[in-house]
Amino acid sequence: MENNHVHPTIQKIINLTNQDPANCYQCGKCSAGCPVRDYFDDAPNRVIRFVQLGLYDRALKSKAIWLCAGCQTCSSRCPQNFEPAKFMDALREIAAEEGIAPSDKNVQKFHKAFLNQIKNNGRSFELGLIRDYKLATGKLFQDIDAAPTAILKGKIGFTPHKIKDTKKIKSIIDKAVKGNTK
């Protein structure tokens, strides 16, 4: 149900997520638990706050919406059952729809590399993601010192764990990409 007293951006968010950003009371648990928070310019709860304050442009231009891994850690920690991961996804969709590209071109390259892994494997394959991202950015040896530890801790596998029907995933992603280019 549309409300004529709600800003169009908030209405889009509500339509895409079935949740009202006003329900977030800024406890910060989403930001405290976010595994990729250190790479964001703005913490997840801060991006939500931008929208609550009517700073839509600031929220849509945040690197955080493009770097969100969609891992649901934030959503599982929220005492209000608000889903910041859904919220970030909606902001990404709105930003793309409005032609707002991430300010850092490497963010877009990471996003593309991540989606490529999902398309090909049905889920993220870390080594493939690293390979695709490093080749796209040309930063082949950046963070190379972290590789041995990540491999020893089992954070990076050498082979992808594919799901059964990757054709369906490819079809969904191809349709979504076609829809965004119209």
Q: Where are the chain's structural domains?
A: 8-97, 105-180
8-97 under CATH 3.20.20.20, yes or no: no
Backbone angles phi, psi at 22, to 5 degrees: -65, -20
Instruction: Report the alpha-carbon distance of residue 80 to residue 59 in Å, rounded.
Output: 21
Please give the pLDDT value at position 5: 77
pLDDT in tens, 31-88: 998 888 888 899 999 999 999 999 999 999 998 998 888 888 899 999 999 999 999 9
Instruction: Report the alpha-carbon distance of residue 173 to residue 179 in Å, rounded.
Output: 10
pLDDT in tens, 2-25: 556 789 999 999 999 999 999 999
